[in-house]
Structure 1
Amino acid sequence: MSESLTLLKGYRSLGLKGEFRGEVSRMIDLHADRHGNCVGTYLELGTTTEVVVIGDRGWARYDDKRLEETRSFAKTYVPDKLAAVEEAVEKARGKYVEYPARQMLQDPGLILCDPGRAFAKVPGAVSSAEETGNPRIKGGERTVQLTHGSGGDEVSVHVPEKGGAVPRGIDFTLGDAPVLLELGDYDEPVRVKPPSRADIVSAEEVKGLDAFAE
């Protein structure tokens, strides 16, 4: 397990796919590196958001279902803001909304776009571990689960039953949220580029998407 955690801490980039179980569970599919680059999607309550982060800038493209739910929420709960929300929804439709990256990464689950922060409290080595759970088979490979700690400090890694300690998955707690991830694309470059200018709107232009914003 220590060897697996050491590998995890040392990857320059990796793919992260799985579930972030916050107040609302999100399914995450991201490829991120330690230089501020991240690309992928997250699914929340049946809606999909595409995300791109490059250094200090980030972009999010919300699907039509998410935008319509924003409109419906405003109509029901803050009807006095409905006009502003509808205007923002139409401006954001099919576009990437540009934010400061630090603001985007405050969104639950998107902290995984910064592996250094996301795995900061995961130990780099452990003094003991036990095999827990049932073996998994994925892609023809059988893996075992090794666990250390308990409660909010519990960490599990899934490693090949045979053939080394490369972490195929990790289960841990991020803040108060359990996170269950499959890992891959180790050290592969994060191929990311900003959206074209014609496909971008600024967060200021669509601030009405937050019905409670002043």
Structure 2
Amino acid sequence: MPRTVDLHAERHGNCIGTYQELGTTNEVVVIGDRGWVHYGDKQLESTRTFAKTYAPDRLPAVEEAIGKARGKYVEYPAREVLQYPGLNLCDLGRAFAKLPGTVSSAGEKGNPRTKGGERTVQLTHGSGGDEVSVHVPEKGGSVPRGVDFTLGDAPALLELGDYDEPVRVKPPDRADIVSAEEVKGLDVSVE
């Protein structure tokens, strides 16, 4: 599971950012129904080590895939990219469909915190199954700065910046892309 995810995402399916896994930072780009992942060298080396240990018969295919993927963006359908833990947050429309563009300051305030000199309070918006806990500026603002949610069994806080602003993203250059089919040897699992 990624330890740190830093994404710029919008409700229209555009997303760009990074996630850390196995001690390396990987880049991700999602535009509509297409996604690209640029795997860091440590991630690729971890795949090689795993294959050597647990699937030595597949090592030649893994080596070939690593050679093709190194320094490139691997292109996937967006739905496959969004299966990575944490990267489902790229799809804000689904991940936070219940989160409104602004939040009423009515309701119980709690859990104050300060970030970047701005003090926020936690508000509960909605009720029952439509309840969302959001952090909004304590004074003079209703635009969410954070959302409390659960990722697996762990509580998490998603910090929001430039909320509801469009994300400007472009696909990687065609010369820097390799298809997932060409590097399917990266998918090493123990059967």
Q: Quick check: 1:204 aligned with 2:181?
A: yes
Q: Distance in 2 between matches of 1:178 and 1:156?
A: 12
Matched with 1:165 is: 142
SS of residue in 2 equivalent to 1:204: helix
Q: Which amino acid letter does the alignment assign opposite residue 132 of structure 1?
A: G
Q: Which amino acid letter does the alignment assign opposite residue 163 of structure 2?
A: Y
Q: Distance in 1 between matches of 2:125 and 2:136?
A: 14
Q: Deviations over 1:88-124 (max 9, x none)?
A: 1111001000001121112221111111110135689
Matched with 2:40 is: 63
Rate the CA distance shift 1:116–1:174 in 2: closer, same or farther, 3 A: farther
Q: Deviations over 1:117-176 (max 9, x none)?
A: 1013568989x853333x221111111223479xx9974211111112221111112565
Matched with 1:130 is: 108
For the 8 Å contact 1:171–1:179, the answer to whether it is kept is yes
Rate the CA distance shift 1:155–1:189 in 2: closer, same or farther, 3 A: closer
Q: Which amino acid letter does the alignment assign opposite residue 94 of structure 1?
A: G
SS of residue in 2 equivalent to 1:76: helix
Rate the CA distance shift 1:185–1:25 in 2: closer, same or farther, 3 A: same
Matched with 1:93 is: 70
Cα deviation for residue 45 of structure 1 reads 3.3
How many residue pairs match? The answer is 188
Q: Quick check: 1:51 aligned with 2:16?
A: no
Rate the CA distance shift 1:25–1:148 in 2: closer, same or farther, 3 A: farther
Q: Distance in 2 between matches of 1:114 and 1:213?
A: 30
Matched with 2:159 is: 182
Rate the CA distance shift 1:98–1:49 in 2: closer, same or farther, 3 A: same
The structure with the largest strand share of the pair is 1
Rate the CA distance shift 1:187–1:47 in 2: closer, same or farther, 3 A: same
Q: Distance in 2 between matches of 1:138 and 1:30?
A: 18
Q: Which amino acid letter does the alignment assign opposite residue 17 of structure 2?
A: G
Rate the CA distance shift 1:85–1:111 in 2: closer, same or farther, 3 A: same
Q: Distance in 1 between matches of 2:51 and 2:23?
A: 19
Q: Which structure's relative contact order is higher, taking Cα pairs within 8 Å and 6+ residues apart? A: 1
Rate the CA distance shift 1:123–1:31 in 2: closer, same or farther, 3 A: closer
For the 8 Å contact 2:98–2:132, the answer to whether it is kept is no
Alignment TM-score, normalising by the size of structure 1: 0.77
Q: Distance in 1 between matches of 2:145 and 2:11?
A: 19
* Identical positions, percent: 79
Alignment TM-score, normalising by the size of structure 2: 0.85
5+ long unaligned stretches in structure 2: none
Q: Distance in 2 between matches of 1:65 and 1:122?
A: 36
